């Protein structure tokens, strides 16, 4: 019997094929992934006969969604309490208390959600408040 006790060759792992497969999988995932763009709250404003909106240099737009979600100048607000909303308003308006607060509430928004915005504005010291409305068909014909 002849038993060899010579040197053994170490097995080789071919990493090039492994990297090629990973790159193909990565490219497949990149191409097949859908990138969803987060949009602002979709609103259906109440209808009212109103004057055209004036452009104000210092305005703060607070949007109230039908589910009670808030956003300030198109940036979503995490909390729903007046304290959190007032803090976000102060951060957006700075120390300028002459900023005009424009409340843009969905037609199906709860009354309490709008009152929460008004309470937050009072706590933030914002004195000028206006409401946004969609012009009626009669007003649009003028």
DSSP 68: S
Which residues form the domain of 80? 47-140
Please check whether residue 111 lies inside any domain of the structure.
yes
Residue-wise pLDDT tens digits, 34-81: 765 554 555 565 666 655 555 656 888 899 988 888 998 888 888 888
Please check whether residue 24 lies inside any domain of the structure.
no
Please check whether residue 96 lies inside any domain of the structure.
yes
Q: What share of the chain is helix, strand, coil (3-state, %, to 5)?
A: 35, 20, 50
Number of domains in the chain: 1
The model's confidence at residue 26, banded by pLDDT at 50, 70 and 90, is very high
CA distance 118 to 36: 33
More confidently predicted of 96 and 60:
60
Q: Closest by alpha carbon to 100, among 132, 133, 56?
A: 56
CATH number at residue 80: 3.30.420.270
Please check whether residue 73 lies inside any domain of the structure.
yes
* Residues 52 and 90: beta-carbon distance below 8 Å: no
* Residues 130 and 59: beta-carbon distance below 8 Å: no
Please check whether residue 20 lies inside any domain of the structure.
no
Is the pLDDT at 109 greater than 70? The verdict is yes
Please check whether residue 79 lies inside any domain of the structure.
yes
């Amino acid at each position: 019997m002849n038993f060899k006790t010579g040197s053994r060759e170490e097995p080789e792992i071919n990493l090039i094929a492994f990297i090629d497969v990973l790159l193909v999988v990565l490219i497949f995932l990149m191409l097949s992934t859908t990138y969803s763009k987060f949009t602002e709250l979709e609103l259906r404003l109440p209808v009212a006969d109103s004057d055209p909106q004036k452009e104000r240099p210092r305005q703060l737009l607070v949007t109230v969604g039908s589910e009670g979600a808030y956003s300030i100048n198109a940036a979503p607000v995490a909390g729903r309490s007046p304290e959190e909303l007032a803090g976000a308003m102060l951060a957006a308006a700075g120390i300028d208390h002459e900023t005009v607060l424009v409340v843009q509430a969905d037609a199906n928004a709860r009354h309490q959600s709008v009152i929460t915005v008004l309470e937050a504005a009072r706590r933030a010291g914002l004195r000028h408040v206006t409401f946004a409305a969609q012009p009626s068909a009669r007003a649009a014909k003028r």
